[in-house]
Structure 1
Amino acid sequence: MTQVPADAANYCYRHPDRQSFVLCQRCGRTICGQCQTPAAVGVHCPECVREARASAPRVQPRVVGSIRSASRGGAPVVTYGLIGVSLLVYLAQVLTGGVVSSAFSYFAPIALTEPWRIVTSMFTHGSVLHILFNMYALYIFGAQLERTLGRARYAALYFISGLGGAAAVTLLSPATPVVGASGAIFGLMAGFFVIARSLGGSNGVQLLVLLGINLAIGFVSPNISWQAHVGGLVVGALVSFLYTKTRHRSKAGLQTAGLVAIGAVCLLIVLGRSAMYLGYP
């Protein structure tokens, strides 16, 4: 027999054994990934969805209905999408003999004129081992965080962490070209730890050890950007801390403003340092 945890507010009201960070935007109850239905704003629980459909029935195209059905099943579609795009980009790197790698990599001097490289570099990798390790880590941490945070919050955490990694590279190693999703993934690791602690999880000693080992590898290996790791880690922890303090739907505006502020600071660091590097006043 399943017992309701002591702090039921952190668990799905329909599945008391599943922790979740997501609230129904209509009734405010906690719901897990399986119980979430994407709405125009946030997600809705099954009861609120039934009420809405009863009052305003509509017919959906079969393809749209199939996608939403899979989404309601709790599949980490954002994580799968990130992995899929990364694999396609790496295939393009291999087939073009380095042309894509050169066009998608990031380094500070070019950020002011080609800022999209901040994003494209997150889907570009330097070797088979590089992409395999990153995609495995993305699947392990990303799938769980996506179900816990919800797709929009999870995507924001991923990309803002990646931007934080780029900001650290810009400050500490501006002339070094970098590729890879490591900054974003370190942000996910930090987010996993912060969110787990906020939900009353374990002390996360194993995760801290894993983070320490990976950071140490970055410091001793000449081909790994430890700067991106540190930047992603710090920004990911900051974004996740913001989530823990603005969880209630009444603080949605504050949460959005906080995310914009963190992202803007990182972007200003990138563009400002790039301008200085190129000799602009």
Structure 2
Amino acid sequence: MTTSPDASGNYCYRHPDRQSFTLCQRCGRTVCPSCQTQAAVGVHCPECIKEARANGPKRKPVLVRASRASRGKPVVTYTLIGITVLMYLLQLVSDGRVYQALAYYPPFTAEQPWRMITSAFLHSQSSIFHLLFNMFTLFIFGRALELPLGRARFIALYLISALGGSVAVLLLAPQSVVIGASGAVFGLAAAFFVIQRRMGVNNRLLLIVLAANLVIGFIPGSGISWQAHLGGLITGAVLALVFLRQRNKPSANPEIALVALVVAALISLTLVRIFVL
């Protein structure tokens, strides 16, 4: 919801005696609680609701085309959390074998490229807070994104953002060992930010939180890979722009092609770093 900075003028346009601090997301007029209709983002006034209904589906404020997969519970989010927690438990009982097999170490990229993804499901055994923070972030943004995006887009966003984080590590810190879902969850946060901004929502606070978390990675001795954060952030933002560009289009083929292009670009950067630079 959006609020007006001038409280003296915050009176419902339909009920001048009722003060309100909520604006219609479409037209910007002040509306009181009895005149508000909750929308996907913010609230709408009665006139805008009538206009949207009169103009049909073209004016309906949706993010992407609806599908059966996008309805119900955020199953993919819960599954990702379950797999990650299970991998953490396996790390505790495997005497380092899981870590050695799946952690991302850039010099192994050519022989074992799957580590660029599997490392996103591992977390530091020395601090459970690493796991809890990432899973809490996944829970928050996963529930916000999975249903409106649809499960296929959401899982693509998560895994490709994880890949983007690993590519950034390969390019910027090629001798480091990296584990954790931070690249993937930063991709979710960036996508959420981009989508909200495009839908007209002021999410300055989220931008501050993202910037603060990114800066923390530059603190010496923090043990945080800012490279993975940055890579996931950029990848998630790019994918969000792809999803927004293709929303409500009759065919999904152009969207699939653009997502494949993002993946191809990440793979190309990986190959150039391994075999050329």
Partner of 2:101 in structure 1? 103
Note if contact 2:106-2:174 (Cα within 8 Å) is conserved in structure 1.
yes
How many pairs align? 225
Partner of 1:260 in structure 2? 260
Equivalent residue for 1:93, pick from 91, 97, 101: 91
- Once the two structures are TM-superposed, the CA of residue 276 in structure 1 deviates from its matched residue by 4.7
Could you say what secondary structure the match of 1:86 adopts?
helix
- Map residues 90-239 of structure 1 onto 2, 5 A cutoff: 90-126=88-124, 127-200=127-200, 202-222=201-221, 223-239=223-239
Larger Rg: 2
Shift in alpha-carbon separation, 1:235–1:210, aligned structure 2, 3 A: same
Partner of 1:63 in structure 2? none
Shift in alpha-carbon separation, 1:276–1:100, aligned structure 2, 3 A: farther
Q: Which runs of 4+ in 1 moved over 4 A?
A: none
Q: What runs of 5+ residues in structure 1 fail to find an aligned partner?
A: 25-35, 44-71
Partner of 1:66 in structure 2? none
Q: Deviations over 1:8-52 (max 9, x none)?
A: 59xxx8xx9xx742324xxxxxxxxxxx523xxxx6xxxxxxxxx
Q: For 2:62 and 2:224, how far apart are their aligned partners in 1?
A: 34
Q: TM-score when scaled to structure 1?
A: 0.75
- When the two chains are superposed, the root-mean-square deviation of aligned CA atoms in Å is 2.1
Q: TM-score when scaled to structure 2?
A: 0.76
Q: What runs of 5+ residues in structure 2 fail to find an aligned partner?
A: 1-33
AA partner of residue 65 (structure 2) = L
AA partner of residue 171 (structure 1) = L
Bigger mean CA deviation after superposition, 248-257 or 205-214: 248-257
Q: Deviations over 1:252-278 (max 9, x none)?
A: 21111110010111122223323357x
AA partner of residue 146 (structure 2) = E
Note if contact 2:64-2:244 (Cα within 8 Å) is conserved in structure 1.
no
Q: For 1:94 and 1:20, how far apart are their aligned partners in 2?
A: 43
Q: For 2:85 and 2:274, how far apart are their aligned partners in 1?
A: 29
Q: For 1:272 and 1:88, how far apart are their aligned partners in 2?
A: 34
| Identical pairs, percent | 44
Note if contact 2:167-2:231 (Cα within 8 Å) is conserved in structure 1.
yes
**Bigger proportion of residues as helix:** 1
AA partner of residue 203 (structure 1) = N
- Once the two structures are TM-superposed, the CA of residue 91 in structure 1 deviates from its matched residue by 0.3
Q: For 2:179 and 2:251, how far apart are their aligned partners in 1?
A: 36
